[in-house]
Chain A
């Protein structure tokens, strides 16, 4: 299926030229022809094959773990097996004596020198945050925390010697359950950090009546209790693990005064700043390089204990060191995501018009307040009202410390949680009204003619067209036919029932306007930086502060520059991820690279053109007022005189004949601070077949129509959508980080943490509508998180929809066959039994965990 939309983006004042942006989406049967060479003005919207791929498909990639330096030493971590314990003694004698071991360090050995890991977003002034040493000396607070580091000549020898470190622990009671932890205090229950006297970190509240953005939600609910509908539901956002494919890895090379760190990180610039700020090393002495990075999904948006320890130890030893985590370490100690209980109260008139929404969250921080962990639920605070015109809204989140792995951003960060809750409860409202879930949404959503629209959460949505996306999705999906089939199966008592799930999502992305971040007490701005360097040979180097880890920036950014500057796509080289080259940036997360970083690039390119104009005018002996720029050429109005921008670049380089007072360079920088977020939206429809005899859920069809504004590269966009969908579907059906009663992560390997396989998933039907964003000149919106945000509620809504005739109104995620079967039997929706059982014990019949789906590998 192929759809093509053509939209015309805004005319740019500098050139007076109109760019035609072709946002074509090609699905399975699309065209493949890839024309060679440059065609001015037609790069944007083209399905260019990626520049990144040549090294990735031939094994010539530069992963951090591939780096080997002369004399490089290897680190291995000794990690706590206990969730909460006092360290009473560490004996490193045997480890130090082991073959080729160079040093062994404990927290006590490093002391203050190791600093403390930062929390960049204290969400309230009175937020309680325990100090977070990279390697604590006295007390461990989650299973997997580092207690000693062995440094040896080889990784295997370091690992062997780590086994010889003898640690004595005095086990302490561990705060594990989120609700129990929230209820505990100094006198009752267990505290994750007894010194704090509470597990409660921060209470963050937004109220539309107080903010002046809407009415009083309590009034709305009270009114609906007597004369309308009130729905109260509690949803669980289970704990997830980002599970990027490349394990995290860090190499530190101290060379005299200067220090270079290579790290598999999403945030080289932020890391450099924080290494300097925390460790007291001058920022100018630190170079951080994120070479090719194998996925992140938020999971590499962290300043990690491992990075800080590598830095401190490399400096102590004066030698390069490397640390690469094992997958088990990655799953156990890399930050996790989600983990909320959500109490949602929705009030509506009898006719199904929503009058108020009240959201009360408990969010599990794990044992520390990570870099932006406390802020993740706050990112969701503005999204529970989603695409709807709710007159009253109240949001509050209590963040809670527990003795589990710290949590932070995972693809969507706060917004999937919000979208899940609202889209689930809108379906519940439809069920209450006995009407189609599309209809209840239509009644409450913002109509396309009502944009720009200021929401009850105080955001201004610049553009959107929910009607158009929904209409296309219904058509592509064959909604009416599937509903008819559903009726037939219900009437015939088919043991395989069909469920249809709807999710109409929006999100705020393109993090973020700096002053908004400032108003939320975030520790940095949200701008992005770009430079354009014109080389004398006519080639162009582009430097971006965004830091790709799979997104294809080198390709998409080349397309933008090629169009804007009128040079060949092949002649543009995009440089990123090295603070010595890209000295300034705020990195990649929150679907920000294109909409913020791309806009910075546009502004830098425009400056190049402006700098070239007087030189071109001088060389062509014309007045600057007569110079026009189009298609990569400067021409003199009304004549056939002209010269290419490459010629101007060469003239600037030679500098033999420049106008007086003009610098011999076209190179330009720009830093762009977005004026608003942007708001992609879409309608996702999912059909599942449920075998009511076994509880097995099989996905039958998935259609999504996303409006992400103008598309730079449809191939890359489709990839982002597909991958996002599967991560969201995985939350609905398979993935969960499960802890046992002792606080041990039992889903600590890919045997137990169910990242879906090709055999678990289906091909998707992806379409687009295009309403260009009005807040950037490219008219683009973020796409990186859309699929993940939208798909989870679509799938769970489908599962619940299939089972409504059985009296099922909710199933806790992941909707495993066991949970589904039990729901059908009326057995409630508690956690899956056996999910936290040991693999090999008499209790479980030596058969291990019960809820493995198909796809266990070969």
Chain B
């Protein structure tokens, strides 16, 4: 067991973890952050995407011990003071989700994408979300949601 100490969604947490424990399992099993989900075993689906020190990572691809001392934001820490993050609101507004299983990862990746490129073209959005799989929406309205967030609501579903 290894002692780790980190900040998750603004709260300081510390735990003893197995060195092999993945960050996603730490979040789900130790912290009860079940908003972050596991969709595959091969880092393809991106459902587990969170922010590690402000950049998106697939949390199935990071060991919990690697997050020692870091700041982690999950989907559950995105809304502030009861206000949805603009990207969360955009996904709802543009019907960018159906079953919702990919949604936490998709939103976290979209936030990162917009942080890096506030005015992406449709192609840039599609390439930026390439590492996140969705089986329901056909991506059409996910792209609209990111455009909606980027343009402050000019583009809609």
Which residues of chain A have C-beta atoms less than 8 A from B156's C-beta? 26, 28-32
Assess whether A56 is in contact with B103, with CB atoms less than 8 Å apart. yes
Distance in angstroms between the alpha carbons of A327 and B140 in the assembled complex: 25
Assess whether A246 is in contact with B101, with CB atoms less than 8 Å apart. yes
Assess whether B46 is in contact with A59, with CB atoms less than 8 Å apart. no
Assess whether A755 is in contact with B135, with CB atoms less than 8 Å apart. yes
CB distance from B40 to the nearest CB of A (A): 4
CB distance from A13 to the nearest CB of B (A): 35
Assess whether A50 is in contact with B95, with CB atoms less than 8 Å apart. yes
Assess whether B132 is in contact with A758, with CB atoms less than 8 Å apart. yes
Tally of chain A residues near chain B (CB < 8 A): 65
Not counting A56-B100, A719-B136, a sample of 12 additional A-B residue pairs whose C-beta atoms are within 8 angstroms of each other reads A30-B156, A49-B95, A58-B78, A66-B34, A156-B18, A244-B135, A292-B100, A549-B99, A757-B130, A758-B127, A759-B130, A858-B130
Q: Which of B100, B126, B133 has the most CB of A within 10 A?
A: B100
Which residues of chain A have C-beta atoms less than 8 A from B91's C-beta? 53, 57
- Bits for B40-67, please: 1 = Cβ < 8 Å to A, else 0: 1111111100000000000000000000
Instruction: Tell me whether B114 is interfacial, beta carbon within 8 Å.
Output: no
- Bits for B68-80, please: 1 = Cβ < 8 Å to A, else 0: 0000001110110
Which residues of chain B have C-beta atoms less than 8 A from A724's C-beta? 138
Instruction: Tell me whether B150 is interfacial, beta carbon within 8 Å.
Output: no
A32-B156, A57-B88 known; A723-B98 Cβ under 8 A: yes
Checking B41, B98, B102, B122 against A551 with a beta-carbon cut-off of 8 angstroms, the contacting residue is B98
- Bits for A713-733, please: 1 = Cβ < 8 Å to B, else 0: 001101110111111000000
- Bits for B81-110, please: 1 = Cβ < 8 Å to A, else 0: 000100010011101011111111001000
Assess whether A857 is in contact with B88, with CB atoms less than 8 Å apart. no
Which residues of chain B have C-beta atoms less than 8 A from A581's C-beta? none
Instruction: Tell me whether A295 is interfacial, beta carbon within 8 Å.
Output: yes
Assess whether A857 is in contact with B38, with CB atoms less than 8 Å apart. no
Which residues of chain B have C-beta atoms less than 8 A from A61's C-beta? 34-35, 100-101
Checking A58, A244, A750, A758 against B42 with a beta-carbon cut-off of 8 angstroms, the contacting residue is A750
Distance in angstroms between the alpha carbons of A754 and B46 in the assembled complex: 15
Which residues of chain B have C-beta atoms less than 8 A from A764's C-beta? 138, 140
Assess whether A245 is in contact with B135, with CB atoms less than 8 Å apart. yes
Distance in angstroms between the alpha carbons of A725 and B100 in the assembled complex: 18
Assess whether A295 is in contact with B138, with CB atoms less than 8 Å apart. no
Instruction: Tell me whether B134 is interfacial, beta carbon within 8 Å.
Output: yes
**3 closest cross-chain pairs (CB), A and B:** A59-B35, A550-B99, A56-B100
Please classify the interface of chain B as helix (H, G, I), strand (E, B), loop, or mixed, using the class held by over half of its residues. Answer: loop
Instruction: Tell me whether A293 is interfacial, beta carbon within 8 Å.
Output: yes
Assess whether A245 is in contact with B79, with CB atoms less than 8 Å apart. no
- Chosen A-B contacts, 5 in total, with CB atoms closer than 8 Å, are A53-B92, A61-B35, A726-B139, A750-B40, A757-B129
Assess whether B138 is in contact with A726, with CB atoms less than 8 Å apart. yes
Assess whether B139 is in contact with A32, with CB atoms less than 8 Å apart. no
CB distance from A34 to the nearest CB of B (A): 8
- Bits for A738-767, please: 1 = Cβ < 8 Å to B, else 0: 000000000001110001011101011000
CB distance from A99 to the nearest CB of B (A): 12
Assess whether B95 is in contact with A718, with CB atoms less than 8 Å apart. yes
A247-B38, A295-B101, A750-B44 known; A58-B141 Cβ under 8 A: no
The residue on A at minimum CB distance from B88 is A57
Which residues of chain A have C-beta atoms less than 8 A from B141's C-beta? 718-719, 722
Which residues of chain B have C-beta atoms less than 8 A from A53's C-beta? 91-92, 97, 100
- Bits for B18-43, please: 1 = Cβ < 8 Å to A, else 0: 10000001001000011111111111
Distance in angstroms between the alpha carbons of A719 and B140 in the assembled complex: 8
Checking B46, B74, B92, B95 against A857 with a beta-carbon cut-off of 8 angstroms, the contacting residue is B46
Which residues of chain A have C-beta atoms less than 8 A from B95's C-beta? 49-50, 715-716, 718-719
CB distance from B147 to the nearest CB of A (A): 8
On A, residues with C-beta under 8 Å from B are: 26, 28-32, 49-50, 52-61, 63, 65-66, 156, 243-247, 292-295, 297, 326-328, 549-552, 715-716, 718-720, 722-727, 749-751, 755, 757-759, 761, 763-764, 787, 855-858
A58-B76, A722-B140, A763-B140 known; A327-B99 Cβ under 8 A: no
Assess whether A761 is in contact with B41, with CB atoms less than 8 Å apart. no
Distance in angstroms between the alpha carbons of A58 and B88 in the assembled complex: 8
Assess whether B37 is in contact with A295, with CB atoms less than 8 Å apart. no
Distance in angstroms between the alpha carbons of A57 and B74 in the assembled complex: 11
Assess whether A244 is in contact with B99, with CB atoms less than 8 Å apart. yes
Distance in angstroms between the alpha carbons of A718 and B43 in the assembled complex: 30
Assess whether A56 is in contact with B97, with CB atoms less than 8 Å apart. yes
The residue on A at minimum CB distance from B98 is A550
Which residues of chain A have C-beta atoms less than 8 A from B99's C-beta? 244-246, 292-295, 549-550
Which residues of chain A have C-beta atoms less than 8 A from B137's C-beta? 719, 722-723
Instruction: Tell me whether B4 is interfacial, beta carbon within 8 Å.
Output: no
Which residues of chain A have C-beta atoms less than 8 A from B76's C-beta? 58-60
Which residues of chain A have C-beta atoms less than 8 A from B131's C-beta? 757, 857-858
Distance in angstroms between the alpha carbons of A295 and B37 in the assembled complex: 14
Which residues of chain B have C-beta atoms less than 8 A from A550's C-beta? 98-100, 136
Which residues of chain B have C-beta atoms less than 8 A from A295's C-beta? 98-99, 101, 135-136
Assess whether B88 is in contact with A719, with CB atoms less than 8 Å apart. no
Assess whether B143 is in contact with A758, with CB atoms less than 8 Å apart. yes
Assess whether B92 is in contact with A246, with CB atoms less than 8 Å apart. no
Distance in angstroms between the alpha carbons of A719 and B97 in the assembled complex: 8
Distance in angstroms between the alpha carbons of A357 and B157 in the assembled complex: 42
Distance in angstroms between the alpha carbons of A30 and B140 in the assembled complex: 14
The residue on A at minimum CB distance from B129 is A758
A59-B76, A326-B41, A749-B42 known; A763-B122 Cβ under 8 A: yes
Which residues of chain A have C-beta atoms less than 8 A from B155's C-beta? 28-29
CB distance from A247 to the nearest CB of B (A): 7
Which residues of chain A have C-beta atoms less than 8 A from B34's C-beta? 59, 61, 63, 65-66
The residue on A at minimum CB distance from B144 is A28
Q: Which of B25, B84, B95, B130 has the most CB of A within 10 A?
A: B95
Which residues of chain B have C-beta atoms less than 8 A from A246's C-beta? 37, 39, 99, 101
Instruction: Tell me whether B8 is interfacial, beta carbon within 8 Å.
Output: no
The residue on A at minimum CB distance from B47 is A245
Assess whether B139 is in contact with A58, with CB atoms less than 8 Å apart. no
Assess whether B107 is in contact with A763, with CB atoms less than 8 Å apart. no
Checking A30, A245, A552, A858 against B134 with a beta-carbon cut-off of 8 angstroms, the contacting residue is A245
A58-B35, A294-B101, A758-B125 known; A245-B138 Cβ under 8 A: no
Instruction: Tell me whether B142 is interfacial, beta carbon within 8 Å.
Output: yes
Distance in angstroms between the alpha carbons of A716 and B136 in the assembled complex: 11
A58-B35, A59-B104 known; A49-B136 Cβ under 8 A: no
Distance in angstroms between the alpha carbons of A328 and B38 in the assembled complex: 12
Assess whether B92 is in contact with A57, with CB atoms less than 8 Å apart. yes
CB distance from A231 to the nearest CB of B (A): 33
Assess whether B43 is in contact with A857, with CB atoms less than 8 Å apart. yes
Which residues of chain B have C-beta atoms less than 8 A from A328's C-beta? 41
Which residues of chain B have C-beta atoms less than 8 A from A58's C-beta? 35, 75-76, 78-79, 84, 88
Assess whether B142 is in contact with A758, with CB atoms less than 8 Å apart. yes
Which residues of chain A have C-beta atoms less than 8 A from B144's C-beta? 28
CB distance from B11 to the nearest CB of A (A): 15
The residue on B at minimum CB distance from A296 is B99
Which residues of chain B have C-beta atoms less than 8 A from A31's C-beta? 156
A245-B39, A757-B130, A758-B139 known; A750-B45 Cβ under 8 A: yes
Assess whether A297 is in contact with B84, with CB atoms less than 8 Å apart. no
Distance in angstroms between the alpha carbons of A362 and B22 in the assembled complex: 45
Assess whether B74 is in contact with A763, with CB atoms less than 8 Å apart. no
Checking A156, A247, A720 against B39 with a beta-carbon cut-off of 8 angstroms, the contacting residue is A247
The residue on B at minimum CB distance from A66 is B34
Which residues of chain A have C-beta atoms less than 8 A from B136's C-beta? 245, 295, 550, 719, 723
The residue on A at minimum CB distance from B145 is A57
Which residues of chain A have C-beta atoms less than 8 A from B157's C-beta? 26, 28, 30, 32, 715, 718
Distance in angstroms between the alpha carbons of A751 and B42 in the assembled complex: 7
Q: Which of A246, A549, A787 has the most CB of B within 10 A?
A: A246
Distance in angstroms between the alpha carbons of A524 and B74 in the assembled complex: 44
Distance in angstroms between the alpha carbons of A293 and B99 in the assembled complex: 7
Distance in angstroms between the alpha carbons of A186 and B28 in the assembled complex: 52
Distance in angstroms between the alpha carbons of A53 and B126 in the assembled complex: 22
